[in-house]
A and B are shown apart, each in its own frame.
Chain A
Amino acid sequence: MADNNSNQNAANKKIKNAGFRKGLDIFLFLLPAILLFVGILIAPIAVSLYRSFQKWDGFQPGVFIGIKNYRDLFFSGSVHFVPALKNALIIAFFSVFVQLPFSLLLALLLGRKYKGERFFLTVYFMPVLISTVVIGQLWLKIYNPDYGILNRVLGAVGLSNWQHIWVGDPKTALGAVVVPTIWQYIGYHMLLMYAGVKGVSSDLREAAMLDGATNWQVDRYVVIPVIKPIIRTSVIFAVTGSLKSYDLVRIITNAGPTHKTEVPSTLLEDMLFLRNKYGMGSTISVMLIILCFAFALAITAIFKEKGE
């Protein structure tokens, strides 16, 4: 009996050791990735969070000021965070309700195996491959009030009254940023959705067709429900991408005129590097992280609810 017990204990110990060894192996294999993840993502966020409670000019030691930066973010007129956030949300709105439907439409059409599918796929995806700086410069030329093609075309078709200083007029400047932003990433979302559309089983399509469904009905009742997880991902990318938008704004309007196209990322840069307000800059970056997470969770929840 005693022998049995000791054998049992030894076996248990052996299993335990093997389990520990296995856990250790897994940990060691994961360690480089964990270190990278913590060092590149978690640590900077933690430092930003710490700095967001400080008044810090980037050069001298920071001074702890509690939540003053967060209060100023929303209530100080000179920070301009609320208008910047509003602009980012406007871009997000157009991304979700204009860009994504258009991408979906293109993906559905290309998914029907029309002639020249590959050609159109490449053409639509091309703006994604072009550098944003090039796209910004391209659109600046289009908008140029003197020689830009937009004003020229409007003039040529007798719509001179519609001619504008597109990037300099506070009424049109944000629109001048929204259009190229949407145009640039239509191809990106189209490609994501196209991959989903191509993944829909041909059996499902054929079954629906046999039941008398038209192409649009197949798309509406078969394809779209199947690719819903991809649409959800696209919505998350579109919204968080809009919140983080920076490059086209900086190139096309430089966040002007008079902050009319300011977005949180351009504001963040101004605070950090032009105003030497590293504490406030850190606060904006923390708010951006929080907002991106919040929107991602909310979008996931909305899609879940609809699915259920």
Chain B
Amino acid sequence: MKMRRVVSMLLAGVMALSLTACGGGAAAPAPAPEAPAAEEPAKEEAAAPAEEPAEEAPAAEASAEPISLNMWCIATESDSNRHSYEAAIADMQAAHPEVTFTWEAFENESYKPKIKAAVAADDLPDIFFTWSCAFLGDFVAAGKVKCLDDVYQNYKDELPEVMLGNSTYDGKHYGVPLTMNIVGLFANMDLLKEAGYDEIPGTYDDFIKCCDDLKAKGITPFGCAGKETWCVTEYLESIIEKSIGAEELNNVFVNGATWNNEGIAKAVDTFQEMIKKEYFDPAGIGLTNDEVKANFMAGKYAFYMNGTWNCADFAANDDFKDKVKVAEFPVIDSSKSKLGQLIGGPSDTLAVSASSPNADRAAEYAMELGKLICHYGYLDGCGLPAWTPYGDTSAVNPLTQAVSEICANADTYVLFGDTAMSAEDAQVYLDYVAQVYGSAIDGAGFIEGLAGDLR
């Protein structure tokens, strides 16, 4: 029952997401007042687990004529989502023997240029993984993605429309959301205990004191991968959000508000102050996310801020799972921000190529597959479900349940900056973030540079 309540509150929280994410960008999310999860009965309905198992989900009269479908995604061997993809695909292959399904997984960073090149060359696979909002928006604007409105009608009871906000353009749905994730503050509690802390500090002052105490004990508070700038944004965006508030940050990300914002400059300076105080492992600037994550799990850092998709890997590690806890980054300026303002939202999405020779059946297949990936991903702890959960979810790991609790109490979500912005803006933004982490510019340089280059 507790899980049902958490999931229903989570869906209500995601309704709030639609208030902010992609508001003024290419994406046009469903207006919040019309969102089905906005009212209490809708929440209850959304919370009710679906009766039928995935394999028995309506197949929407798919033709039994043999066809071949292929898919590209980023669920590589080392990806947290790998198992959920494998399990979902195995189920699909058993349920649809008439479909010869092949799939390839590519590393996250190399996948971005690959999928864009495929779009440009009109050489997309039938089904492909994509990030929602502006990333998918470019492909939709180019007419390369199949509209899923028709096929969605068969699944609307299981997939709340509010979850489609980030992949809705001009009122049409183009994506199958998988799981949703937020940025979480993961902590190695063994290291915190060494510094005299039994819980992750809830206020910013206590948090900074905790970092100082950790340093005094010779423990590095944070690890952050400078070689992959998106990892730096996980820290920086959380600090900015907890300094200026979610609404203001979202306005800057997607609604055209100027970057020339003193609050952002101050937040960047706060971040750099943490770097100057050597809260961050200086070696992190030359490391990849996999290396930093491995260091965190090996007990080199006390904290690691990253996407909650990591819950799966942490929970699967017998030596580490009992040491780790997750929390929300504390509020820095309580006059502008508050707990419950989070970075994240449903971004991982499957889409169907408009030029697929079997586009209709690929759309049907993508829906079914997306539902199963979401199901297994949730059970594995790779994220929270975009689809209404079904079956026994009591085995979901405690870390993911803690994330569910955080999301259940969420007030507003701001989508990851590099996902919310257009491709060109996102790269310029990431460039400046990298310069901040490398201490090449300060807060003033950050806002002036971005204000000049992006607006």
Residues of A that sit less than 8 Å from B by CB: 57-60, 77-78, 143, 145-146, 165-170, 173, 253-254, 256-259, 269-270, 272-278
Give the contacting residue for B141; candidates A60, A146, A165, A173; CB below 8 A.
Answer: A60
Contact check, B120 vs A170: say whether CB atoms are below 8 A apart.
no
Q: Is B113 an interface residue (CB 8 A)?
A: yes
Interface bits B143-172 vs A (CB < 8 Å: 1, else 0): 010000000000000000000000000000
Chain A proximity of B236: nearest CB distance (Å):
14
Question: Could you say which residues of chain A place their CB within 8 Å of the CB of B114?
Answer: 273
Q: Is B398 an interface residue (CB 8 A)?
A: no
Give the contacting residue for B119; candidates A58, A146, A167, A173; CB below 8 A.
Answer: A58
Q: Is B270 an interface residue (CB 8 A)?
A: no
The A-B contact count (CB < 8 A) is: 91
Q: How far is the CA of A301 from the CA of B427 in the complex (A)?
A: 41
Interface of A is mostly: loop
Contact check, B427 vs A170: say whether CB atoms are below 8 A apart.
no
21 sample A-B contacts, Cβ–Cβ < 8 Å, listed by A number: A58-B116, A58-B119, A59-B120, A145-B283, A165-B282, A165-B285, A166-B286, A168-B283, A253-B286, A256-B226, A256-B227, A257-B434, A257-B438, A258-B434, A258-B435, A273-B116, A274-B113, A274-B423, A275-B424, A276-B116, A276-B138
Question: Could you say which residues of chain A place their CB within 8 Å of the CB of B287?
Answer: 168
Q: Is B275 an interface residue (CB 8 A)?
A: no
Q: How far is the CA of A168 from the CA of B282 in the complex (A)?
A: 9
Question: Could you say which residues of chain A place their CB within 8 Å of the CB of B209?
Answer: none
Chain B proximity of A194: nearest CB distance (Å):
36
Q: Is B142 an interface residue (CB 8 A)?
A: yes
**CB nearest to B430 among chain A residues:** A274
The answer to whether residues A275 and B423 also contact, given A258-B434, A258-B440 and a CB cut-off of 8 A, is yes
Residues of B that sit less than 8 Å from A by CB: 112-114, 116-117, 119-120, 138-139, 141-142, 144, 226-229, 282-287, 422-424, 427-428, 431, 434-435, 437-438, 440, 453
Which of A257, A258, A274 gathers the greatest number of chain B CB atoms within 10 Å? Answer: A258
Give the contacting residue for A273; candidates B112, B144, B431, B435; CB below 8 A.
Answer: B112
Q: How far is the CA of A77 from the CA of B449 in the complex (A)?
A: 10
Contact check, A277 vs B424: say whether CB atoms are below 8 A apart.
yes
Q: How far is the CA of A256 from the CA of B438 in the complex (A)?
A: 10
Identify the 8 closest CB pairs spanning chains A and B, nearest first: A168-B286, A273-B113, A59-B142, A168-B285, A58-B120, A145-B283, A167-B286, A276-B423
Question: Could you say which residues of chain B place their CB within 8 Å of the CB of A275?
Answer: 423-424, 427-428
The answer to whether residues A59 and B423 also contact, given A170-B438, A254-B227, A257-B285 and a CB cut-off of 8 A, is no
Question: Could you say which residues of chain B place their CB within 8 Å of the CB of A143?
Answer: 286
Question: Could you say which residues of chain B place their CB within 8 Å of the CB of A257?
Answer: 226, 285-286, 434, 437-438
Contact check, A259 vs B119: say whether CB atoms are below 8 A apart.
no
